Amino acid sequence: MNYSILLDVGTAATDATVAVANSVKLPTLDKIDSFQDAIAITFFIGYMAMLASAVFFFVERGSVDGKWKLSLLVSGLITGIAAVHYYYMREFYMEYGVSPTALRYVDWTLTVPLMCVEFYLLTKPFGAKGATLFKLILASVVMLVTGLIGETVGLGQNVMWGILSTIGYLYIVYEVFAGDVAKLTSASNSAALSKAMFLMKIFITLGWSIYPIGYMVLPGNLLDGMFTVQSIDLFYNIADAINKIGFGLVVYSVAVAESNKK
């Protein structure tokens, strides 16, 4: 199968999502039933859930004030990009029986910075600056690039690369708990934003913690031998569904609450 179409996802995410919804031939249910593999099933469920979420967020943009439309657009892009990648990741896994690491990191390279953008967009109406956005995106890039190296060319030193990746992750945690994002939330006097950030804190501490657990299953890492290496995809698929869709729903709740204020 030719996977070069993934190169176009970053510049045409919305069009790709619509194209998938209209023209992709879905795997048949009997194919799933005959393939007794929880990982393959989570790829399929992830694809369907992400696609449905993307459609929901795009449609619901019309129900919120103008200043929140961009936030819902980003939520739709995150889940839409993920839906496209999950379709191809499942096809790759079904065909070769190995983890689609490269495809997954292409997905994360596009969607994780966008998830950081959501923190900025949520606080922008209350005074967030561009510098906050830059720091969040930079931290996410450090986290992703070092994680990719640790899972591929740096496999023999994956603990070291995992530590470096964790530094980027911890900076994002700092921003949300005590940095600019936290300070703006505290000063906003918005009950909806405060509730949203409380939920976001749960996502980045509990939800995002699934990723390092999966990473530590790698050979030579802290959980080596506790699970099979193939279990990484099971961890990652569950985490993606929880975090990407959950992030979008939190953003949606804030947008609706703020738009409904008299």
Read off the amino acid at residue 172. I
- Can you read off the two tokens belonging to residue 2? 């030719």
Q: What is the pLDDT of residues 73-125, one digit of tens each?
A: 999 999 999 999 999 999 999 898 888 989 999 999 999 999 999 999 888 88
Q: With H, G, I as helix, E, B as strand and everything else as coil, classify residue 201.
A: helix
Protein fold of 4-259: Rhopdopsin 7-helix transmembrane proteins (1.20.1070)
Question: Where do we find the tokens 């640790």?
Answer: 150
Long-range CB contacts (< 8 A, 24+ apart) of 94-103?
94/27, 94/35, 94/40, 95/1, 99/229, 99/230, 99/232, 99/233, 100/233, 101/148, 101/151, 101/152, 102/152, 103/3, 103/6
Helix (H, G, I), strand (E, B) or coil at 227: strand
* Dihedral sign of CA atoms 212, 217, 218, 221 in order: positive
Structure confidence by residue, pLDDT tens digits, 124-150: 888 888 999 999 999 999 999 999 998
Q: What is the pLDDT of residues 199-240, one digit of tens each?
A: 889 988 888 888 888 888 878 888 887 877 777 888 899 889
